[in-house]
Structure 1
Amino acid sequence: MASIVIIGGGPAGLSAAIYAARANMQAVVLYQNGGALEKTEKIENYFGFEQAISGPELLARGRAQAARLGAHLVQAEVTGVEYAETGFQVHTTAGNYAADAVILATGAPRAVPKIEGVAAFEGRGVSYCAICDAFFYRGKAVAVLGNGEYALEEARVLLPVAGAVTLLTNGAEAPAVLPEGLAVDTRPVRAVAGGETVEKAEFADGGALAVSGVFLAYGTAGSAELARKLGAETEGTRVRVDERMATNVPGLFAAGDCTGGLLQVARAVADGAQAGLSAVKFVRDAK
């Protein structure tokens, strides 16, 4: 059976799963949490509910509906997506999943840490994609800013290429298990500094680490980060899609808040439905 993997378990992702499952596709929903909806106390503007409903209750109903229709829901962190021999391979903390099509629906991104110089050096030593930019740092010292599985996955990509890789946890505790060869510095980061390009990471205690590049992998990989790794077009933190919720990468779709626009449940559900139907059509046409 053809497989459609949906990354994100909010209203957009669950809606996509419902439509994919009803089309007799193997729909897999990979999610960490319910995103913004899970934190919403009361919803009064969603069609069909005479009385207000809480975000967690609406989310629970959506999950139950998707599961009843045959979708497989897996709570795990997605650390990367790459092309496979046929389709895609989605890497998670719970194993890898093969997919004929992928739908990104992780919601709007979290704020990145406010570190001086990060925005100023974007494209000049600050990167959000190790797979995209590791080549430019062959034999050079680089740093990865983050402390979760996403940051470790970025470090694994860089280790065989860069001269030295240091994980900057920005004051957080270092992961218990580290890839061989990865250095760690847990000091809070004050700034990314340099001249024309990045030259160092400066710490709050006055110290510094000489690096040619800083890769941001703070928190978990969002839709824009995953899209960039596959060559999909983005605008800032927004994934660019057409009216079918398709990206410029065949088989890759996006839905909901990660595409920008009206950040409302009704819009996310509609986007998810369209993405699900478009993914189904793509898979069927490819067979």
Structure 2
Amino acid sequence: MISGRTREENTLHHQTVIIGTGPAGLTAAIYLARANLSPLIIEGSQPGGQLTTTTEVENFPGFPEGITGAELMENMRKQAERFGARVQSGYVARVDLAKRPFTLYLEGGGEITADAVILSTGASAKTVGIPGEAENFGRGVSTCATCDGFFFRNKKIIVIGGGDTAMEEAQFLTRFASEVRLVHRREELRASRIMQDRARGNAKIAWSLNAAPLEVMAGDKGVTGLKVRNNATGEEEVLEADGIFLAIGHRPNTGFLGGQVQTDELGYVEVVPGTSRTNVPGVFACGDVMDPIYRQAITSAGSGCKAALDCESFLFERQ
């Protein structure tokens, strides 16, 4: 039996449950559905994942004219449903992975059991939390230089952050922008010395250190600048910019696991190299929840494929 009621009348059972959507989870669903495993997808609080906040995706193969992130995710969802995957709105509050079948406890009540679980809950970009930031995502505010840098050719860009990621993204964005200004709230950078030296050696990168971001300024067409306060003098000014990139890190969405799945020091799920297998047999991970490096739609989709194939093999071996 693929799915149905367990002995507990109010608990549904499925062979495979995918927690989270996005390119990874939906790709896993497509593969599992085509293998007649009828996976259940619990889509969480942001159906389609972070990609739905991206206005234009131009680097996903097969779309020469580009496609919006929301449309790409909707197409992948329809494809998964066409082969028999089911999508359920909800949020997994906690899990019990100590015994099989695994038990997933939904926020607001309800339980689901599963023979195998695929984790595809992603990683949330850390934000500054200033006025104008959230309202202008996709209108000049971004968390992905690789995804959106192309749209800022010959324009002024601000990168907020002081770590290696900020240095790397600032360097990358100089390929497109006329100027990249790096804004950091402290005088000292957290980045490694070699990354700092590379950034300081780039003539296109300007610096605003010891500057606290206060507000994203925007007009009808999007971002126009960033208001900052000089921490030494208290003076405020608006730095002109057409785009603002947040490079202050990501937070993997793994808190609900309660430490039952092995993670690294940052909270990313660790998998057996070359696979999607975690330290818990029957639990697999794909996408940004296990990838702190690439964070691209295409690499997430590839890892979702691996998770589905690993999961299928796991279930087949236990028939």
- TM-score interval, normalised by the smaller of the two chains: 0.5 to 0.7
Matching residue of 2:285: 254
**Aligned pair 1:264/2:279, yes or no?**
no
- Tell me how far apart the structure 1 counterparts of residues 265 and 82 of structure 2 sit (CA, whole Å): 36
Higher Cα radius of gyration: 2
**Aligned pair 1:78/2:76, yes or no?**
no
- Tell me how far apart the structure 2 counterparts of residues 104 and 223 of structure 1 sit (CA, whole Å): 10
Specify every segment of 5 or more residues in structure 1 that has no aligned partner in the other structure, as ranges.
115-220
Specify every segment of 5 or more residues in structure 2 that has no aligned partner in the other structure, as ranges.
3-14, 130-250
Partner of 1:262: helix, strand, or coil? coil
Query: Aligned ranges for residues 30-45 of structure 1 at < 5 Å?
Result: 30-32=42-44, 33=46, 34-45=48-59
Q: How far is 1:26 from its partner?
A: 2.6
Contact 2:261/2:278 (8 A) holds in 1: no
Amino acid in structure 1 at the alignment position of 2:89: Q
**Aligned pair 1:106/2:136, yes or no?**
no
Partner of 1:56: helix, strand, or coil? helix
Matching residue of 2:112: 97
Matching residue of 2:20: 8
- Tell me how far apart the structure 2 counterparts of residues 228 and 234 of structure 1 sit (CA, whole Å): 14
Query: Aligned ranges for residues 57-68 of structure 1 at < 5 Å?
Result: 57-68=71-82
Evaluate the alpha carbon distance shift between residue 247 and residue 85 of structure 1 in structure 2; reply closer, same or farther with a 3 A threshold: closer
Partner of 2:307: helix, strand, or coil? helix
Query: Aligned ranges for residues 188-227 of structure 1 at < 5 Å?
Result: 223-227=253-257
Contact 1:223/1:239 (8 A) holds in 2: no
Matching residue of 1:137: none
Matching residue of 1:234: 264
Matching residue of 1:214: none
- Tell me how far apart the structure 2 counterparts of residues 5 and 82 of structure 1 sit (CA, whole Å): 13
Q: How far is 1:284 from its partner?
A: 1.3
- Tell me how far apart the structure 1 counterparts of residues 24 and 35 of structure 2 sit (CA, whole Å): 17
Q: How far is 1:49 from its partner?
A: 0.8
Q: How far is 1:286 from its partner?
A: 1.8
Contact 2:18/2:120 (8 A) holds in 1: yes
Partner of 1:64: helix, strand, or coil? helix
| 1:221-277, Cα deviation, whole Å (9 max, x unpaired) | 964224453242333121111212111111111100111221111001000000011
Q: Alignment partner for residue 314 of structure 2, among 265, 282, 287?
A: 282
Contact 2:261/2:269 (8 A) holds in 1: no
Matching residue of 1:25: 37
Higher RCO structure (Cα 8 Å, ≥6 apart): 1
Evaluate the alpha carbon distance shift between residue 5 and residue 268 of structure 1 in structure 2; reply closer, same or farther with a 3 A threshold: same
TM-score (norm 2): 0.53
Matching residue of 1:46: 60
Matching residue of 1:196: none
Contact 2:252/2:268 (8 A) holds in 1: no
Amino acid in structure 1 at the alignment position of 2:300: A
Amino acid in structure 2 at the alignment position of 1:11: P
Partner of 2:94: helix, strand, or coil? strand
Evaluate the alpha carbon distance shift between residue 87 and residue 105 of structure 1 in structure 2; reply closer, same or farther with a 3 A threshold: same
Amino acid in structure 1 at the alignment position of 2:265: E
Partner of 1:235: helix, strand, or coil? coil
Contact 1:228/1:234 (8 A) holds in 2: no
